Amino acid sequence: MTRSDEDELLKRAADRFGTPCFVYFTQRIEQRISLLRTNFGPDLGLSYAVKANPNPALLEWLSGEVDHLDISSAGELRLAQEAGWDPALLSFTGPGKREAEIREAIRAGVGHLVIESLREARIADRIARQAARVQPVLMRISPESLPKGFGDQMAGKPTPFGIDMEVAHDAISIIQSLTGLSLAGFHIYAGTQCLKADVIAETYRHLLDIFARLCSAHDVKPAMLVMGSGLGVPYHQGETPVDLRFVSRMLNGELSTFRKEPRFTNAKIVLELGRYLVSQAGYFVTRVVSTKTSRGRRIAICDGGMNNHLPASGHFGMVMRRSYRMHSIGVRNGSADETEAVDVVGPLCTSIDRLASGVELPRLEEGDLIAVHNSGAYGLTASPVHFISHPMPEEVMVVADTLLRITRSFASGPARACDSEDAVRLVDGTHPAAANQNA
């Protein structure tokens, strides 16, 4: 699909369903998946991290495309189930699992519970034994060190995530002694948003080495080994995509040697990834509500901004604020080559609601559409949508050239992480309006 085909569909989505809206092109996700499959072969499993974009229709579409989902809450478990996913194909990560969530996951038959602490192991063991089950678990390891340039913020530092490598051996022995659990393998999420192919390959080798050492020291014949992929996407001008061919050339020999060891012949090695699959498939489309020139600078004020797309405003783990790539859809007057510097801002009454500073675009007028790139991951789901009480943005999925409105309904409130035993009752003194909203 060419840029102008995509623009035509983005414009149709905006005109038909309204702005602001997120538009996801499934064809672009297919391209990412086939790139991964061709480079790494069918033996490397793919697990989609739901938190990147939990839209139910997207999860349903992905069920034919990726092997597993990684969920991080009971809410995401329910979304996956509603989207038709077999719970046996899910893994459940997250450092703050509530007891009710662990119970719900075990009862639902979640394939792998990812153990982030001995507290979780003990709770899961008790729940599994009560249900006369043995729950397969992966132990999440926090490495002591990682190759430079890859998630080095996460290795060797105090972290809420996983069990420190320094104490892993003792923890493994404890987990192996719990009869309600079976240790099915290990999980390492080493970092995120890496674009350097050599560092990525080196990191994966390092992770395989940790897996090998732990498994042989404790005689584990793993069913699954999960590598948090760290595969990044080029958000900003001047960044280049990961060279996957290079990663695979550096890695495939290593992987086949690894698999030859009898202990690992049945191990499924899985790449767990969010943004790499869906980020580039999505555009955030916002319409210019008003323009002005203030002290010599052109400003376009749009109907959606930080409230819909926090990361594009630079307030989501970005060290240095840089604008996401974006373009305007259609050129009203003159030619696309005639551009001017413009500040693109959202509708909120705060100066941090800014999508771009001084980006070069063809002259914008009221009613024009702007498409912000790389908006398929951590867009809507990572944003303060209630701030200043604007309506929820629309979500649209493009399958072939058909537009499907897939706006997520929050009418019944976000999924609550509690079952009957933990249900919270509203007590006297609750304002009736709040009680209605929670009903």
Ligand X SMILES: *Cc1c(COP(=O)(O)O)cnc(C)c1O
d(CA 356, CA 367): 18
User: Which residue type does 383 have?
Assistant: S
Pick the closer one to ligand X by CB: 24 or 189: 189
Return the residue of 22, 40, 189, 264 that touches ligand X, per CB under 6 A. Answer: 189
DSSP code at position 194: B
Pick the closer one to ligand X by CB: 276 or 283: 276
The candidate with the shortest Cα–Cα distance to 251, out of 205, 211, 197, 189, is 205
Q: Is 381 exposed, middle or buried (0-12, 13-18, 19+ CB in 10 A)?
A: middle
d(CA 350, CA 347): 9
229 counts as binding ligand X under rule CB under 6 A: yes
CB of 229 to ligand X, least distance (A): 6
Return the residue of 36, 181, 273, 302 that touches ligand X, per CB under 6 A. Answer: 273
Pick the closer one to ligand X by CB: 26 or 192: 192
276 counts as binding ligand X under rule CB under 6 A: yes
**Count of residues interacting with ligand X (CB under 6 A):** 16
SS3 of residue 360 by DSSP: strand
Buried b / exposed e across 90-108, counting CB within 10 Å, b at 16+?
Answer: bbbbbeebebbbbbbbbeb
CB of 378 to ligand X, least distance (A): 7
Question: 433: part of which helix (H) or strand (E)?
Answer: helix 432-438
d(CA 394, CA 111): 33
CB of 384 to ligand X, least distance (A): 19
Pick the closer one to ligand X by CB: 229 or 280: 229
Binding mask 65-94 for ligand X (x = CB under 6 A): -----x----------------------x-
Q: Which residue has the tokens 């672009």?
A: 28
d(CA 250, CA 247): 5
User: Tokens in use for 230?
Assistant: 């760290």
Pick the closer one to ligand X by CB: 312 or 344: 312
Pick the closer one to ligand X by CB: 57 or 277: 277
Of the listed pieces 129-137, 204-212, 271-279, 417-425, which binds ligand X according to CB under 6 A?
A: 271-279
Of the listed pieces 171-179, 189-197, 240-248, 389-397, which binds ligand X according to CB under 6 A?
A: 189-197
Q: Which residues bind ligand X (CB under 6 A)?
A: 49, 51-52, 70, 93, 189, 192-193, 228-229, 272-276, 377
